[in-house]
Structure 1
Amino acid sequence: MNDGQQFFQTIVDHTSDVLMIVDRNRHIVYISPNVYEFNGYRPEEFQNMDIFDIVHPDDRGYMLQRHQNLLASKQSNSTEYRIIKKNGEVRYCECKTTPLPDTENYLQVVSIRDITERKQMEMDLEYHKNRHEVLQNSLKNFSHDLSSVMKLADLEDRMLKEVEIILPGSNPNILKFPQANDSIELGCDVTNLSEGKMVTISDKVLIKIGERKQCPYILSLNSSAIREKMESIWLETLAHYSMMVFENLNMIENLIHQLETASQSKESPQWVLRMMFNLQEQQRLTLSSDLHDTVLQDQIDLYRRLESLLNRYEIEKEAKTKLIEIEQGLLDIIHEIRITCNNLRPPLLRELGLERSLENMFEHIQVTSTYKIIFTSEEISMISLSEEQTIGIYRIVQEFLHYAEEFSRANTIKFDLYYEKERLMMVYSDDGIEFDAVEENHPSDNMRLTSVSQRAQSLGGKIDFTSKQGRGLIATLELPINLERSFV
């Protein structure tokens, strides 16, 4: 054996790649012995075989065109494709081909590397990223839709629809047990189930949503439909959303008789509105904590593992680019979850105070909004507002911002906040479409403005809506401040 042959044999003996030499008709002239470990074929089985016979049918046309291009260009190239092993298993390969145009029958040197594990890792990361996005968007849309749910039947329909969409084959159902012994066939006593906690009985997952007139309501679905931990977290979060609406609907039903006798007017009594808004804030705080402690932490953990993977291993340039894109996508999702948590419960609202918190919110919204925000305030820092008043005014401002984005199509909106005659005054104005007052200044045709009016009423204040010279909206909020003023 001469030095060249010995050098070649050394390469063959110490590389995990399959090395081969093929002619212009893709027939093998030489193939390294490790091909058996690679695809299950022995070297002698490749005699008179077109090497593309083992290429996956979906990739064969592409590979044939690549082969023709290589013969014509006489330039080395590399690509990725799939092969089918002798036992039928599909593997991903990276192929590097160097043509030798001056040789008889136009030989080509081919190096093939098995990259299946890397491809599976990339696909797994991509799948989890996309799945997280789907679950997050589902919770966002579901939470938004629950704001308009006013009947228990509507809640059940919406919940079952969402579970069926996100968990195909789950066959969800709402089970109701007027009598405790009715649940014996399930293999458990439903009265002992903790609300919002998943329990697996046989092939079913059960979650107690709540009780109505001592009748437990149980969400049931096929356990086989839940394949990932993040899907379990999603389901429990969905159940928590539904539980809170369920409790609210129960409470509303219990209070309906009091409402009928307490007021004959079209407006709800202040104490009812105040209670409902306080409950909403408590729910938002709970949801914010749940999102932060579950979904957000899982996203951060996945991001850190990906970051560690990128830093620890040498990865091909193209694969690394894709992984970095996935890494950036995770960062975007983490950012969106944090924004959702902040919207549910504004951070440092109590510590910073109303004025500074509004300024922070305006600065953040101004970056992406299509309208300009002008904000002025006078002597607000000298007023001691309760936490309920602070969050109430903050939510009113948020509703006006949503109104401006969704309805008014304004170019400029303005907030003036000032103190006058023991009252906190806030004037909102925009240059959007004309506002048409309905039923004597009660804007019942617009959900956002209805919420603003009810918020003001719950705080003991009032708000008037008028049109500004046939264009835009002017809203004047008057909120009595009965607390002692504190001057610096």
Structure 2
Amino acid sequence: MNWEFETIAKHTLDILLIVDQHQIVQFATPSVETILGYRPEEFVGVNAFDPLLPEDRDRLMQSHKEAIATGEPRVDEYRVFHKNGELKYFESRVMPVQNHPDNLIVVSIRDVTLRKRMESELERRKNRYQELQNCLKNYSQDLSGVMKVSELKSRLIHELNTVIPDSEPQMMIYDRESKAIEGEYPVSLAAVLTNLTVGKLKVENEQIYILIGDRKEMAYILTIKSSSIKESMDLIWLETLVHYTVMVFESLNVIESLMSQLETALQKSEKPQWILRLLFNLSEKQRMELSSDLHDTVLQDQMALYRNLESVLKEYQFDSEVDRQLKGIVHGLLDTIHQIRMTCNELRPPLLREAGLISALENLFDYTQVTSTFKIIFSVGNMDSLMINEEETIGIYRIVQELLNNAAKHSQASNLHFHLSRTDESIHLHYLDDGVGFAAEKLTPSFKSMGLSGMRERIQSLNGTIEFTSQPGAGLSVKLQVPLSV
């Protein structure tokens, strides 16, 4: 061995092997001890594929045979056991020695364990991030149908148990007058009761305490195990989840208190029109605030993260696999940004104020059509110089949204027809689909499913009328009329 080759062999960071046609190692550089734990003399004379993970061995042996047969270089990735039993990831570059009687092969082996772990961690983080974003989206959508504090509590506890299984969430109720706490509670709660702020996380003795809000001198306090929050993305998710929950709790607190007083005063009679108008106006205000908060906080944070990651990709060079993973995260961020924008649009429909009801409905139908299996046919008659107030506009728009949601979930329809028209005194909407329909008894005012009750109350709040017609197998027809206020 000349001194130049000896210098290279002793100081190369990669493993260099010479392997014969029988897969026996004829030469190994000293780096084999640094990387695999074997002294070179231990490695020489043994089968080169013995340390490989059994699942990879046959594939690499076949690759070795093909390299000898074709005389072409090969590149492979595989897993190897270190002498101490640790699993390592290797990348090998195989070059056959041309015209050698023993069909020798020179193998350059690089330890890529760190890279593989980074790739695996990036993939795990990307998947976790996407999971958290999807959960937030579904949670925020579900909150639009929550009408009681008890329902909010159940939905919140379910979400925490699902997303962070070891969080052990509890909702405790503290009576500020009697200083009593319902149910079992951590000992450290007493120490933080006076220091809790609505929506803020307080860590004490391995517990996270969050004051969701107060109702009738009763404080609703969420507690979870602090050890369950293991990453910064989980903490951001929890803070965002709490933000949504606090907003809905405050709105429900107002609504439930008002409804309780009204139901007592009216002795369980039907809700008056003005009460329904008030409730729907409060609901729209809540949607608007939530849309604004999502746009100004969560969306801006995601966009800043996207721009920073784009900058990193442009400024630094990464291995192709790492680059692919990072670009996957960038695409995931773009999807999340798109989803948040769509959620904001659902909460606060674009064009409704600026362009009016017809343009807003056309935009809604175009967006819905892209992701739906049914065809939407929208027609307009005698709508020139239409002038309706914002309350009527949003009321009709929300009913159309509910009809689209019901069609997607229940109707199995192929075609949905919407016809909007007006007379001198009222505006009319006729909806017709060719879906499965349902029994007539489900059309009664007492029937609460499929959003029919909500549509009735929405129309009642506008002093209008709504008529449902359906039979099993005969689709659904909905006719509504809203008097024009101007």
Which TM-score tier does this pair reach, normalised by the shorter chain? 0.7 to 0.9
Matched ranges for 1:87-236 at <5 A? 90-100=87-97, 102-147=99-144, 149=146, 152-179=149-176, 185-186=188-189, 188-236=191-239
Count of aligned pairs between the two proteins: 479
SS of the aligned residue for 1:177 comes to strand
Aligned match of 1:246 = 249
Q: Deviations over 1:191-225 (max 9, x none)?
A: 44222222212311111112233121211111111
CA shift at 1:110, angstroms? 1.0
Matched ranges for 1:255-334 at <5 A? 255-262=259-266, 265=269, 267-317=270-320, 320-321=323-324, 323-334=326-337
SS of the aligned residue for 2:342 comes to helix
SS of the aligned residue for 1:261 comes to helix
Quote the Cα distance in structure 2 between the aligned partners of 1:330 and 1:81: 31
Amino acid at match of 2:398: R
Check whether the contact 2:28–2:44 (CA below 8 A) recurs between aligned residues: no
Check whether the contact 1:271–1:458 (CA below 8 A) recurs between aligned residues: yes
Quote the Cα distance in structure 2 between the aligned partners of 1:90 and 1:20: 20
Quote the Cα distance in structure 2 between the aligned partners of 1:298 and 1:36: 48
Quote the Cα distance in structure 2 between the aligned partners of 1:162 and 1:469: 36
Q: Using a 3 Å threshold, how does the CA distance of structure 1 residues 431 and 92 change in structure 2: closer, same or farther?
A: same
Check whether the contact 1:19–1:109 (CA below 8 A) recurs between aligned residues: yes
CA shift at 1:353, angstroms? 1.8
Indicate which of 467, 471, 479 corresponds to 2:474.
471
Q: Deviations over 1:231-288 (max 9, x none)?
A: 11221232233334434544454222422432654x4322332232223223323333
Aligned match of 2:184 = none
SS of the aligned residue for 1:79 comes to strand
Q: Using a 3 Å threshold, how does the CA distance of structure 1 residues 263 and 475 change in structure 2: closer, same or farther?
A: farther
Indicate which of 403, 406, 409 corresponds to 1:403.
406
SS of the aligned residue for 1:21 comes to strand
Amino acid at match of 2:363: N
CA shift at 1:47, angstroms? 3.9
Amino acid at match of 2:133: Q
CA shift at 1:66, angstroms? 4.1
Q: Deviations over 1:115-161 (max 9, x none)?
A: 33433332233222211221123223334444555554443333223
Matched ranges for 1:440-479 at <5 A? 442=445, 444-467=447-470, 471-479=474-482
Amino acid at match of 1:287: L
Check whether the contact 1:441–1:465 (CA below 8 A) recurs between aligned residues: no
Q: Deviations over 1:35-67 (max 9, x none)?
A: 455445554453445444544566455444544
User: TM-score of the superposition, structure 1-length normalised?
Assistant: 0.84
Check whether the contact 2:27–2:44 (CA below 8 A) recurs between aligned residues: no
Q: Deviations over 1:421-452 (max 9, x none)?
A: 32222222223334544487537253222222
Q: Using a 3 Å threshold, how does the CA distance of structure 1 residues 76 and 288 change in structure 2: closer, same or farther?
A: same
Check whether the contact 2:303–2:337 (CA below 8 A) recurs between aligned residues: yes
Q: Using a 3 Å threshold, how does the CA distance of structure 1 residues 387 and 151 change in structure 2: closer, same or farther?
A: closer
Q: Using a 3 Å threshold, how does the CA distance of structure 1 residues 59 and 291 change in structure 2: closer, same or farther?
A: farther
Moved more, 60-69 or 284-293: 60-69
CA shift at 1:301, angstroms? 4.5
SS of the aligned residue for 1:169 comes to helix
Q: Using a 3 Å threshold, how does the CA distance of structure 1 residues 287 and 87 change in structure 2: closer, same or farther?
A: farther
Check whether the contact 1:303–1:331 (CA below 8 A) recurs between aligned residues: yes
SS of the aligned residue for 1:475 comes to strand
Check whether the contact 1:441–1:464 (CA below 8 A) recurs between aligned residues: no
CA shift at 1:465, angstroms? 1.9
Whether 2:389 is the aligned partner of 1:386: answer: yes
Quote the Cα distance in structure 2 between the aligned partners of 1:452 and 1:440: 12
Check whether the contact 2:192–2:204 (CA below 8 A) recurs between aligned residues: no
Quote the Cα distance in structure 1 between the aligned partners of 2:478 and 2:459: 11
SS of the aligned residue for 2:463 comes to coil
Amino acid at match of 2:365: F
Quote the Cα distance in structure 2 between the aligned partners of 1:141 and 1:434: 27
CA shift at 1:227, angstroms? 1.7
Q: Using a 3 Å threshold, how does the CA distance of structure 1 residues 62 and 294 change in structure 2: closer, same or farther?
A: farther
Q: Which runs of 5+ in 1 are unaligned?
A: 484-488
Quote the Cα distance in structure 1 between the aligned partners of 2:442 and 2:328: 53
Amino acid at match of 1:444: F
Q: Using a 3 Å threshold, how does the CA distance of structure 1 residues 323 and 248 change in structure 2: closer, same or farther?
A: closer
CA shift at 1:395, angstroms? 0.9
Q: Using a 3 Å threshold, how does the CA distance of structure 1 residues 216 and 398 change in structure 2: closer, same or farther?
A: same
Quote the Cα distance in structure 2 between the aligned partners of 1:195 and 1:270: 33
Q: Deviations over 1:151-206 (max 9, x none)?
A: 54443333223212211321212223224766884364424422222221231111
Check whether the contact 2:388–2:485 (CA below 8 A) recurs between aligned residues: no
Moved more, 163-172 or 302-311: 302-311
Q: Using a 3 Å threshold, how does the CA distance of structure 1 residues 371 and 318 change in structure 2: closer, same or farther?
A: same
Q: Using a 3 Å threshold, how does the CA distance of structure 1 residues 222 and 446 change in structure 2: closer, same or farther?
A: closer
CA shift at 1:399, angstroms? 0.8
Quote the Cα distance in structure 2 between the aligned partners of 1:78 and 1:240: 51
Check whether the contact 1:438–1:445 (CA below 8 A) recurs between aligned residues: no
Aligned match of 1:363 = 366
> Please, what is the CA RMSD of the aligned residues?
3.5
Whether 2:82 is the aligned partner of 1:81: answer: no
Aligned match of 1:486 = none
Q: Which runs of 5+ in 2 are unaligned?
A: 182-186
Q: Using a 3 Å threshold, how does the CA distance of structure 1 residues 203 and 189 change in structure 2: closer, same or farther?
A: closer
Whether 2:29 is the aligned partner of 1:32: answer: yes
Quote the Cα distance in structure 2 between the aligned partners of 1:333 and 1:420: 44
Indicate which of 349, 373, 383 corresponds to 2:376.
373
Q: Using a 3 Å threshold, how does the CA distance of structure 1 residues 28 and 308 change in structure 2: closer, same or farther?
A: farther
Amino acid at match of 1:166: V
CA shift at 1:358, angstroms? 1.2
Q: Deviations over 1:364-397 (max 9, x none)?
A: 2222322222223346463443333222221111
